[in-house]
Amino acid sequence: MKNLTFIFVLIIVSAFTFQHDSFDSGDSFSFDSLRYPNEKHLQNIKQITFGGDNAEAYWSFDGTKVVFQSNYRLWGNMCDQIFYTPIEGVNLKEQKPKRISTGKGRTTCSYFLPGNNTVVYASTHLGGDDCPKEPERVLGGKYLWSVFDSYDIFVADLNGNITKQLTNTPGYDAEATVSPKGDKIVFTSVRNGDLDLYTMNIDGTNVKQITNTLGYDGGAFFSPDGKKIVFRASRFKTEEEKEEYKTLLKQGLVAPTNMEIFVCNVDGSGLKQITNLGKANWAPFYHPSGKKILFSSNHHGQRGYQFNLFMINEDGSGLEQVTYDNIFDSFPMFSPDGKKLVFSSNRNNGGTRFTNLFVADWVD
């Protein structure tokens, strides 16, 4: 989650959101009024969605469309489902995007496969038609994510037909993303009793475990050359923290309030921690140069839910703030040509808690 999961699901911000049935943000589609003054890397910001919680938008290989998850009630969703939309020539204020998922269960973490006509995503629909129940939020208690054991990873065409099931082991399998080379998928699985990263061929064969340290390893993406992987991970300083993690995981839960950014080679070697900022650092994505990483973090905020995008060199130096929304910016992804950035934000939501998709021209 990415559960995105990210979890894929609208993650941290979903703890602070409520669902509205309609919202009109005016006619601000592509004006720089959507850009805060300090956002020097962004120009010509265009708002794509206009209601609900919309997240984890990822580009097709040809850069013409994105696939994403949404829980927008006006689109008939009771919880996150997978949609896709062309970036140009559509108006999602007036028309509904094409849904790819079945409409059953909860879905997360979709990603285009080579050819731009199929996507991979995770879904709980084999575990039941209804949306699985989220953990109750206790006032003053920790925010928890569910890692539902009914999640498996599927391939579907753009008409919503499932063409292949890629995972079928017991427990959580989700957060799949595809190498720019088009040959491998990285995903998170609990098949060994912990939340670790695995790779597989795009047909589901040749599964290999690439992380093995206790803690939640997830939200992984490949570098532009396909040789490295960047991801978020929770690591523990005390035995009490380890025991709490293991106890929660047995209940299908994780507390994602302390995570840092790591990179490794595609085979798991060369593991290196990039950030040491405290709080929650997640949703990393490589800059087109392959030498920098964009990610979302609340380390700078007084409120736990204030997330912005930051950029950092791969060696951990040169931390730079990229976005400046007062509530939430996350899920950045560069287009394949490196010229555009798609991300989720609470900006321009009319005072609601809606999280919408935005596309901007990227300026180095």
Residue spans per domain, the chain: 12-362
Cβ 15 vs Cβ 137: under 8 Å: yes
pLDDT value of residue 3: 46
Cα-based torsion angle of the residue sequence 48, 52, 57, 63 in order, rounded to the nearest 10 degrees: -20
Rounded Cα gap, residues 315 and 144, in angstroms: 31
Q: pLDDT tens digit string along 167-208?
A: 999 999 999 999 999 999 999 999 999 999 999 999 999 999
pLDDT value of residue 24: 40
Q: pLDDT tens digit string along 231-258?
A: 999 999 999 999 999 999 999 999 988 9
Give every CB contact of residue 269 below 8 A, 6+ residues apart in sequence: none
307: closest CA among 343, 338, 334?
343
Dig out the tokens for 119 from the structure.
Answer: 């996507």
Q: Which CATH number fits domain 12-362: 2.120.10.30, 3.30.70.1710, 3.40.50.720, 3.40.718.10?
A: 2.120.10.30
Rounded Cα gap, residues 53 and 355, in angstroms: 5
Burial class (CB in 10 A: 0-12, 13-18, 19+), 253: middle
Q: What pTM, to 2 d.p., does this model score?
A: 0.91
Rounded Cα gap, residues 189 and 176, in angstroms: 10
